[in-house]
Amino acid sequence: MSFSVRVDKNVDVPMGDGVVLRADVYRPAQEGTFPVLVQRTPYNKEMWLVVAPTLDPVRAAAAGFVVVIQDVRARWASEGEVFFPYRDEEPDCADTIAWAAAQPWSAGVVGCYGLSYMGGNTWLGAASGHPSLRAISPTTAPNSFYQNNFWRDGVMQLATVISWALRLIGPAALIRSGKQLPELGARLAELADALDGFDALVREQPLNALSAGHKEDEAFIPFLYELMKHPVPDEWTDSILFNDRHESVKVPALIIAGWYDMLLGADLQHYRGMRERGGTELARENTRMIIGPWSHAMFLNMVGQVDFGFRSSGLFMDLKEDLTTLQLRWFKRWLCDEETGIDQDARVKVFVQGVNRWQDEDDWPPERMRLTPWYLGADGRFGSALPSADEKPDSYVYDPQDPCPTCGGTLLMPPQYTPGPVDQAPVMGRRDVLVYTSAPLEQDLKLMGPVRARLFASTSAPDTDWVIKLCEVGADGKTMNVCDGVVRASYQCARSGQTFTPGEVVEWQLDMLATAIVIGAGLRLRVLVSSSDFPRYDRNPNTGEPAAEASTTVSALQRVYHNERYPSQIILPVV
């Protein structure tokens, strides 16, 4: 049955502390009670590209759901003083779920959904344990405020922080700040100039001068300055988001992720957390995960410089359904108790690159996966054979004033930076990038699961970064990135309790997230090693100072070892 749809604009939703948040409510035009879907966004509920990238609220209302899309506290039509990412979301999520369950058009059952920030709100809503919440569908959603949103293994995701704050948060904050028009216009013009000159902006020093706002403007992205005070995770960063509380989630989750999404690591953490520690057997056994070849908020078949084929598109996924239809099947099963078949589908569905086909799995990572080390070697070799005892290290100089530029990857950056798989030719000829290449493969090599690196290396500096990319060399000779990792030396030391002195050989551990790909016979694998990926990540000044405070930099001599004693390696998930 298909319903006519009505939309109620700016409906008041009172919070427990008296602040009124406002929502647009999409619902069937006829009288009755219906299951409710809730999305809470900081990006303006009026913007269609924000509210409907994976679930169309009009189609959902026509299918018999009420969809509540709410501006979060201190954003757009909602009341509140100052927006701070996730700080107020958990109680507001709980209050909104309770409100949605109690409305006269509500059947008393609620589902939460959303992409990225809204996906984070979905997990926080689930953590409330409200009895009316029956299922969630978070898409590319963060878990840890520190590790997933703005840092990665100790390195600030600089371009994400700056562009997110200035493009998506700052303008609205200035508009609602109460400034008079001439002053407001000057501030907005300054902000626009900063965004237009993004590359120059992020090259300024020190980092804490990059906001293009003013510290005296309390209404303008104050969190940007606060973020820079926490170069390692602490009680403050742990308190803000969901942070592995899967035992508090009592309902099943449909997790939608992308191989080239910056939040892939969080989605994988969410899946394992639900499978192992979900708060009920229903949640543990019925959580599902889908991983496409997508980048952040982009669900088409063309990702980066690779066309993954029509089957990969979220508009007609696996030639069966789009993402809206998929999620409506999910919510009909758990909110309406309809037999839609989704709980009979495979627990995990992943898109396998190289053969460009979807594959069903009973779990992730697959049990038949074998973690297999491939080693860096002399003369740029990369393969399964152990290096010999007498191989000499390779070296390069990392100069923070001339960092290796960003070239593809799990990016959330301004549009001049292409996310996803991108030809690495622009960076491979640099003197601060080491290249290791395998022989042509004698047979297909299938990789499905987590990828990590053990890099035995030394630096002449008291602190530095290491960046590693795993790539495929195609038949056309192009080197396309598959996955990557980064780690800041001081971060690893803080987490492990170890210390090192300049020049000492240390085993550096890099989490390169995960992949599912077939490298065809005759093709080659390639590994790139460097110490920067800018402006995706902030530059380590190599001085031992926090990057946000450093006003000077020094160059560092980096040595990468590959011998019997120090076998630098990439650990591949071979199926």
Q: What is the reported pLDDT for 211?
A: 41
The last residue of one of the domains, among 199, 231, 263, is 231
Q: Are residues 203 and 315 in the same domain?
A: no
State the DSSP string of 518-566. Answer: EE-TT-EEEEEEES--BTTSPPP-SSSS-TTT------EEEEEEBSSSS
**Which residues of the chain, if any, have pLDDT below 70?**
179-181, 184, 187, 191, 194-195, 197-198, 201-220
The last residue of one of the domains, among 231, 249, 283, is 231
Q: Distance between CA atoms of 202 and 34, rounded to whole angstroms?
A: 49
Q: Are residues 143 and 160 in the same domain?
A: no
The b/e string for 57-86 (b: 16+ C-beta within 10 A; e otherwise) is bebbbbbbbbbbbbbbbbbbbbbbebbbbb
What is the reported pTM? 0.96
Q: What is the reported pLDDT for 227?
A: 80
Q: What is the reported pLDDT for 172?
A: 84
**Contacting residues for 40 by C-beta, under 8 A, at least 6 apart:** 69, 70, 72, 89, 92, 93, 96, 114, 118, 121, 125
Q: What is the reported pLDDT for 56?
A: 97
Q: Are residues 219 and 104 in the same domain?
A: no
CATH number of the domain bearing residue 195: 1.10.3020
Q: Are residues 539 and 420 in the same domain?
A: yes
CATH number of the domain bearing residue 116: 3.40.50.1820
Structural domain boundaries enclosing 161: 155-231
Q: Are residues 395 and 514 in the same domain?
A: yes
Q: Are residues 171 and 198 in the same domain?
A: yes
Q: What is the reported pLDDT for 195?
A: 62
Q: What is the reported pLDDT for 82?
A: 86
Dihedral Cα 378, 381, 386, 392, nearest 10 deg: 10
Q: Are residues 274 and 405 in the same domain?
A: no
The last residue of one of the domains, among 231, 252, 284, is 231
Tell me the pLDDT tens digit for each residue of 327-363.
Answer: 999 999 999 999 999 999 999 999 999 999 999 999 9
Q: Are residues 488 and 561 in the same domain?
A: yes
Domain tally, the chain: 3
Q: Are residues 162 and 22 in the same domain?
A: no
Q: Are residues 470 and 338 in the same domain?
A: no
Q: Are residues 447 and 355 in the same domain?
A: no
- Count of positions (residues) in the chain: 575
Which residues are known to be catalytic? 116, 261, 296
